Amino acid sequence: MAHIACIEDLRRLARRRVPKMFYDYTDAGSWTETTYRANTRDFGDLLFRQRVAVDIERRNLRSTMIGQDVAMPVALAPIGMCGMQHADGEILAARAAEAFGVPFCLSTMSICSIEDVATHTSRPFWFQLYVMRDRAFVERLIDRAGKSKCSALVVTLDLPMLGQRHKDLRNGLSAPPKPGLANLLDLARKPKWGLAMLRTRRRTFGNVVGHVTGVENMASLEAWTSSQFDPRVTWEDIAWIRRLWQGKLVLKGIMDIEDARRAVDVGADAIVVSNHGGRQLDGAPSSISTLPAIAKAVGGSVETWLDGGVRSGQDVLKAIALGARGVMIGRAYLYGLGALGEEGVRLCLEIIAKELSLTMGFCGVVDINAVTEEILTRRRGANGSNYSPNER
């Protein structure tokens, strides 16, 4: 579409088309949203070295992530309630990712079930796991992911309890939305969204309903969900999951060098430097500022990826330059999904790929796998601190 030039255009369109409670669920952080804003802001503190008179005609974006060939080193991150941004959202996003050639990761708290997504795709996808109090349910989820031929298990570690998300609390977030005057008025202004949701049977948490005894309606689902996030999870639980899961294991939510080393010790194939998009611990540093030290600490013993604040192909390139092997995008593709469904996710990926390729060329590099911190210069912050390690 001619009027869609960047991810921000998709965001603006999504804001007009998605009901407020679900748009805010996507486009918000916890508490004061300081960390949420830092995730994007700190990319702006990194500057590129512009190079000239280099043959940049043929540029390669293809790479691998945990042994999987990818069209570019980008994966669609797991997002809860993706199917509330657009009817059948997880299926649409998975199909767009498959067609483009990048991985899609399905959330435990998805609207479309593991089996549903597997039925509507032809290639393996990844599954994200929350470690719930009900360990028997966790075992069944892992078994279902295996039977659906998921090629990687992504365990999220930074949600043992929910961060305080003010917008979600004020909006009375639920799936499907609860009846009420404010919600009904908002839904009346989003007729395309409403009609699409009426045409689908997928309106609640597909991986839970029908798979947990006693969870048969919204009341029982809410009670079960609120009691299931487990603050007792330790590295022993991750070791237990490693024994259960024979495929690739990714640990998401790593923001500390010591935790990164523990992830290596427990047998992870990749770690994701992530603060949950600024939706958990407000006041934590941005993902991109934490990435270099963690990537250096673990070296080549495990793949290091980045999640948080990525809104462009330039952000992807900066993350790769600072040591990431791959990048996960969340809000960027959700804006596309909310704006235009499957086509919007495709547009998001095309925009990021184009921006990535162009920026590589302007920096004088032609292979994404050969990018190093040498493509960055440094910008001195207001307090005199140096963000980037290179001095030019």
**Both tokens assigned to 371:** 């990018």
Q: Which residue, 384, 390, 387, 312, is CA-closest to 354?
A: 312
Question: Greatest CA span in the chain, whole angstroms?
Answer: 67
Q: How far is CA 202 from CA 78, 117, 175, 267, in A?
A: 18, 12, 10, 36
CA dist 103 and 77 (Å) reads: 9
Q: Is 276 a catalytic residue?
A: yes
Note the Cα 87 to chain centre separation in Å: 19
Tokens of 287: 């993902």
User: What is the DSSP code string of 205-235?
Assistant: -TTTTTTSTT--SHHHHHHHHHHHB-TT--H
In angstroms, the CA 202 to CA 189 distance is: 21
d(CA 344, CA 197): 17
Task: Copy the structure tokens of residue 48.
Answer: 């590129």
Q: How far apart are CA 325 and CA 64, in angstroms?
A: 8
As annotated, the active-site residues are: 276
